[in-house]
Structure 1
């Protein structure tokens, strides 16, 4: 009986030692450094959630788009959805993704930029066709947008 008790304690201690890691919190879904699948995706989308075009700036941009492009839109295209966009020329960009290669983008006029609030460092406003986008300067990822359709509809 004296030999049985220490053996039982040793087996119990060994069993507990092997089950403790299995019961521990994995943190990063078991992939180390608290980074599970999609961690790069979530880091990439953090700026999209935090940086937006302010409401006042959005209104200024809508006014600019509606006054500038409504006057230059042919009557047949003005009634289309999306408005003033020829067939086959629908937008080729999406919020949360970089501008595709081959898309031409242009800076906004200084007179318009002077009326807008400052954007965070590393971001800029650009015009793509008849849309105004807030993009990351480095990656050209589209963070937010004001489209002609939203401007004409108001």
Structure 2
């Protein structure tokens, strides 16, 4: 979601559009059954994830996560839409 589409109070937050306490950070563990796991990484401009890792869309952000634990390894960028 772009900052322009956010309510005024959330547009200036970092990350934008997420209420305090809902933003995920590197090291957090997510449930891969509750997020969109990317199946076609090329549509997002990234190569296949390294062995044992996957890409996921979490709260409108493209993240690289551990396939087994769901630990967030890196937060790559905001995505406007789910493409796969």
**Matching of residue 84 in structure 1 with residue 14 in structure 2:** no
Measured against aligned partners, the alpha-carbon deviations of 1:31-90 in whole angstroms (never above 9, x if no partner) come to: xxxxxxxxxxxxxxxxxxxxxxxxxxxxxxxxxxxxxx22872352563213122x3563
- TM-score (norm. length: structure 1): 0.38
Once residues 79 and 139 of structure 1 are traced to their aligned partners in structure 2, the CA distance between those partners, rounded to angstroms, is: 31
- Structure 2's unaligned 5+ residue stretches are 79-84
Mapping of residues 1-154 of structure 1, within 5 Å: 69-70=1-2, 73-74=5-6, 76=8, 79-82=11-14, 83-85=16-18, 87-88=19-20, 90-91=22-23, 93-99=24-30, 104-108=34-38, 110=40, 113-114=41-42, 115-148=45-78
Q: Which runs of 4+ in 1 moved over 3 A?
A: none
Structure 1 or 2: larger strand share? 2
Secondary structure at the aligned position of 2:5 is classed as coil
Total equivalences in the alignment:
74
- TM-score (norm. length: structure 2): 0.62
- Structure 1's unaligned 5+ residue stretches are 1-68, 149-154
Of the two structures, which has the highest relative contact order with CA contacts closer than 8 Å and spacing of 6 or more?
A: 2
